[in-house]
């Protein structure tokens, strides 16, 4: 019976809305079924850093900049709402480090975001 989902006694197919790691928009629905100790699946989840189709297109056109709280770091810093796509040339003028272009996404602290006069919220 490979490929069959084991239903949860309490939650049935136990669905969760998967969201894109980059834009936080919905990507699809995940059916978890029975989890350990018959837990309820989270309502919204992000299982990986694979971009959605929209973000892939944005990354093809330029670099995605996302505003984050000052002092935050790591792979998933606290986001504060700013989001835009800029051309590679503009990013290189700002940071002068071609290695940053490889990931196609940059987290920008709020202080720098405001100094660069980037939009507060745009999508």
In a domain, 76, yes or no: yes
Q: What is the pLDDT of residue 123?
A: 53
**pLDDT for 15-30, tens place per residue?**
999 999 999 999 999 9
In a domain, 120, yes or no: no
Same domain, 25 and 68: no
Residue where a domain terminates, one of 10, 28, 50:
50
In a domain, 3, yes or no: yes
Check whether 48 has a pLDDT greater than 60.
yes
Same domain, 40 and 5: yes
Q: What is the pLDDT of residue 73?
A: 86
Count up the domains in the chain and report the number: 2
In a domain, 25, yes or no: yes
Same domain, 42 and 69: no
Percent of the chain's residues with pLDDT above 90: 72
The parent domain of residue 18 ranges over 1-50
Separation CA 18–CA 65 (nearest Å): 22
Cβ neighbors of 64 (< 8 A, separation 6 or more) are 22, 55, 58, 83, 84, 85, 104, 105, 106
**pLDDT for 73-93, tens place per residue?**
888 999 999 999 999 999 988
């Amino acid at each position: 019976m490979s490929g069959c989902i084991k239903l949860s006694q309490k939650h049935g197919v136990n669905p969760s809305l998967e969201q894109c790691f980059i834009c936080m928009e919905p990507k699809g629905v995940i059916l978890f079924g029975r989890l350990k100790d018959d837990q309820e699946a989270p309502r919204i989840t992000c299982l990986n850093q694979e971009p959605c189709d929209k973000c892939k297109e944005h990354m093809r056109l330029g670099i995605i900049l996302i505003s984050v709280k000052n002092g935050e770091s790591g792979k998933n810093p606290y986001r504060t709402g700013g989001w835009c796509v800029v051309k590679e040339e503009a990013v290189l003028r700002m940071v002068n480090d071609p290695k940053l272009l490889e990931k196609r996404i940059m987290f920008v602290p709020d202080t720098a975001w405001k100094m660069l006069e980037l939009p507060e919220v745009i999508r």
